[in-house]
């Protein structure tokens, strides 16, 4: 079974990018009245405690969400402010103790007639997710499925009202996740060509990670679909030397979001917010961002 637990990473710079993009995308998709189906292929536990044992082990949120809510943080660009407002909505008072994962962010933005399907394979995260979702009392709006999300979404595409957002956020713990993302993207476009698809991926020195956005771009272009690719780098990916002379991996230095059929409003929102994200989350002089689109 997998060892990846999102609780160690909740609220880090990758979550800031992913969840800011998710919120901006959903805000646009819920403007139209017709029902929306959201498929979250890798849901995680849904809610995380930032003051709990897991988050403290690496305290990654200190260099993520915590920097954006810190006293003295500058006025935020609208997309980043919407993200901070979302996280604050799960916390009373000034402290940020609870961090909402994608299932809770999505559910909060849905209307009564929209549907959310959550896929989670890890038994511990599944139990936590099911318990957290039960407290929402959302009834049949939210379904928790103990299934492989790559495969499980097939039965929901195309959705009844022909409007869907698919968020695909694997841990990439296993090398074949990269290939599965591509297979799922190709298969989903065949099933439902007009859906909005959002893929998160880590930017790490590994050929599969490097190739993924390039291959998604080729896929979207060949299918005649529009795409958007945003990346956020917070530090160098080079190994560093510790005081004792050992070499140390830097931790995740960067990540990207690749969207097929993105909302037309997303590019402008990110053009405005990404530079500020890179500036506020910078851990060294290598911090930067990119934003490109096509189709």
Q: What does the per-residue mask of binding to ligand SAM show for 84-113, with x meaning CB under 6 A?
A: -----------------xx-----------
Q: Is 117 in the site for ligand SAM (CB under 6 A)?
A: no
Which of 34/174 has CB closer to ligand SAM? 174
What tokens were used for 18?
């992913």
The label of the residue with tokens 């979001």 reads: 257
| Binding-site size, ligand SAM (CB under 6 A) | 20
The label of the residue with tokens 């529009």 reads: 226
Between CA 232 and CA 44 the distance in angstroms is 22
Among 2, 222, 264, 294, binds ligand SAM (CB under 6 A): 2
Strands (E), the chain: 37-40, 47-49, 98-100, 115-119, 142-145, 164-168, 196-203, 227-233, 240-241, 247-248, 254-260, 288-294
Task: Evaluate whether 159 touches 128 at the Cβ level (below 8 Å).
Answer: no
What tokens were used for 223?
């299918």
Query: What is the nearest approach in angstroms of ligand SAM to the Cβ of residue 121?
Result: 4
Catalytic-labelled residue, pool 40, 114, 169, 177: 169
Q: What does the per-residue mask of binding to ligand SAM show for 19-48, with x meaning CB under 6 A?
A: -----------------------xxx----
Among 83, 119, 156, 178, binds ligand SAM (CB under 6 A): 119
Query: Collapsing DSSP states into helix, strand and coil, what is residue 78?
Result: helix
Check if 177 is active-site: no
Which of 86/238 has CB closer to ligand SAM? 86
Report the b/e string of 146-185 with b at 16+ CB within 10 A. ebebbebbeebbebeeebbbbbbbbbbeeeebbebbbebb
Between CA 163 and CA 10 the distance in angstroms is 29
Query: Collapsing DSSP states into helix, strand and coil, what is residue 168?
Result: strand
Q: Is 156 in the site for ligand SAM (CB under 6 A)?
A: no
Among 60, 63, 114, 120, binds ligand SAM (CB under 6 A): 120
Residue ranges in 272-291 that form contacts with ligand SAM under rule CB under 6 A: none
CB neighbour class for 190 (10 Å; exposed up to 12, middle 13-18, buried from 19): exposed
Per CB under 6 A, which region of 31-39, 106-114, 144-152, 243-251 contacts ligand SAM? 144-152
Among 11, 64, 149, 213, binds ligand SAM (CB under 6 A): 149
Q: Is 150 in the site for ligand SAM (CB under 6 A)?
A: yes
Catalytic sites, residue numbers: 169
**Residues of this chain that bind ligand SAM (CB under 6 A):** 2, 4, 6, 18, 42-44, 101-102, 119-122, 125, 148-150, 169-171
């Amino acid at each position: 079974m997998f060892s990846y637990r999102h609780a160690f990473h909740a609220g880090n710079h990758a979550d800031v990018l992913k969840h800011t993009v998710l919120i901006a995308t959903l805000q646009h998709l819920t403007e139209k009245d017709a029902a929306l189906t959201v498929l979250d292929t890798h849901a995680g536990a849904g809610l995380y405690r930032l003051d709990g044992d897991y988050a403290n082990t690496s305290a990654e949120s200190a260099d993520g969400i915590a920097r954006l809510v810190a006293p003295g943080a500058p006025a935020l660009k609208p997309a980043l402010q919407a993200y901070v407002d979302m996280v604050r909505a799960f916390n009373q008072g000034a402290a940020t103790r609870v961090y909402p994962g994608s299932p809770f962010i999505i559910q909060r933005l849905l209307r009564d007639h929209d549907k959310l399907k959550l896929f989670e394979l890890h038994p511990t995260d599944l139990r936590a997710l099911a318990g957290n979702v039960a407290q929402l009392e959302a009834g049949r709006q939210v379904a928790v499925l103990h299934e492989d999300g790559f495969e499980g979404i097939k039965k929901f595409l195309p959705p009844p009202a022909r409007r869907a957002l698919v968020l695909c956020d694997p841990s990439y713990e296993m090398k074949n996740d990269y290939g599965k993302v591509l297979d799922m993207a190709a298969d989903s476009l065949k099933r439902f060509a007009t859906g909005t698809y959002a893929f998160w991926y880590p930017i790490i020195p590994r050929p599969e990670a490097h190739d993924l956005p390039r291959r998604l771009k080729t896929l979207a272009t060949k299918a005649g679909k529009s795409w958007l690719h945003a990346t956020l780098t917070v530090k160098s990916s080079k190994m560093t030397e510790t005081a004792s002379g050992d070499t140390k991996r830097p931790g995740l230095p960067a990540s990207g979001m690749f969207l097929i059929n993105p909302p037309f409003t997303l590019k402008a929102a990110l053009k405005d917010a990404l530079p500020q994200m890179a500036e506020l989350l910078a851990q060294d002089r290598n911090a930067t961002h990119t934003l490109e689109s096509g189709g």
